[in-house]
Amino acid sequence: MNYTLNQLQIFLKIVQTRSVTKAAEELHLTQPAVSIQLKNFQEQFQIPLTEVVSRRIYITDFGMEIAETAENIINLVYAINYKTMAYKGQLIGKLKLSVVSTGKYVMPYFLTDFMKLHDGIELLMDVTNKSKVLESLENNEVDFALVSVLPTSLNIEKLDLLQNKLYLVGNADTNFKKGLKNETIFENLPLIFREKGSGTRQTMESFIANNNIKVLKKMELASNEAVKQAVLAGLGYSIMPLIGIKNELQSKELQIIPVKGLPIKTTWSLVWLKGKSHTPVSVSFLEHLKKEMDSIVHDKFTWYEQY
């Protein structure tokens, strides 16, 4: 066999994206170039790595095993490069994160200083909903995931970063009295939900179910930002994470509606598969967080404590 590191990287990207086209885009290559490399790589095995059905590419069981080995090899190559660069006092490689959509207001603050210290690191951060985050985590496609609701179906380890608070939020057009009861207020407020698969949606539905609340469902939107804009426009109300509405609260465009049982409190946690073989970059990032986490929370999230 005479496959190259480049072929291993291309094949692994095809497996991760389940698409030659998407793999080409992420690798900044042409689709024909990726297809040729896949063909050359396949010719070195007597067992199919992929199969195409109705113009869609599927990875065989054998292909998945080869992809897992390829990832280990690539990580070892990064480790070799790391050892070389370490003699020069530098850290290189990729840091791969998958972050739930509201986590985009959290994760950058825990990354900034680390990335400034190590300019040889390439950051790959996918911001999506909880279902896709957990899929990336389960498939071992990322080093870490940021979630506010811990997965129960995966064997994970975690590092808690920051408390997450969710309040009932509306625009500033209506005055609400303190101490409102759940059974009365929710009957008259049209609620806006996140899409299925969202951690915020899951938390919101758990609160409603646990309190036997009947709600007037108004609409369902696919991002926290979309929900926020709908609430600002007066289309309805929503139970939203405090982390994403700082500016609107301070400008008094949005208000927290005082309701018994709120806020809901969860925790922003960085999670990874138990037993995962960390790269030198991910090990260094984890060590950085353990050392600097308290000061980051104190410096960047002091405003959080007033609510």
pLDDT digits (tens, 9 = 90+) for 135-188: 999 999 999 999 998 988 899 999 999 999 999 999 988 887 766 666 667 777
DSSP 71-108: HHHHHHHHHHHHHHHHTTT--EEEEEEEEEGGGGGTHH
What mean pLDDT is predicted for residues 7-34? 91
Instruction: Indicate the range of 30-39, 173-182, 218-227, 232-241 predicted with least confidence.
Output: 173-182
Which tops the pLDDT comparison, 304 or 289?
Answer: 289
Q: Give the contacts of 163 (CB within 8 A, at least 6 positions apart).
A: 265, 266, 267, 268, 304
DSSP 4-37: -HHHHHHHHHHHHHT-HHHHHHHHT--HHHHHHH
pTM, two decimals, is: 0.68
Inform me whether the pLDDT recorded for 27 exceeds 90. Answer: no
What mean pLDDT is predicted for residues 264-284? 93
Instruction: Indicate the pairing of strand 254-256 with strand 56-59.
Output: unpaired
Name the pLDDT band for 28 (thresholds 50, 70, 90). Answer: confident
Answer yes or no: are the C-beta atoms of 9 and 33 closer than 8 Å.
no
Answer yes or no: are the C-beta atoms of 143 and 152 closer than 8 Å.
no
Counting residues of the chain whose pLDDT is more than 90, the rounded percentage is 59
What span, in angstroms and rounded, lies between the C-alpha atoms of 188 and 236?
10
What does the pLDDT read at residue 78?
A: 76
Four-point Cα dihedral 70, 76, 77, 83, nearest 10? 170
Coil vs helix vs strand at 163:
strand
Kindly list the distances between the CA atom of residue 124 and the CA atoms of 24, 94, 99, 118, 169, in Å, as whole numbers in the listed order: 16, 7, 11, 14, 32
Instruction: Indicate the range of 219-223, 227-231, 252-256, 273-277 predicted with least confidence.
Output: 219-223
Q: What share of the chain is helix, strand, coil (3-state, %, to 5)?
A: 50, 25, 25
Answer yes or no: are the C-beta atoms of 224 and 101 closer than 8 Å.
yes
pLDDT single digits (tens) 63-105: 999 999 999 998 888 777 767 766 666 777 889 999 998 999 9
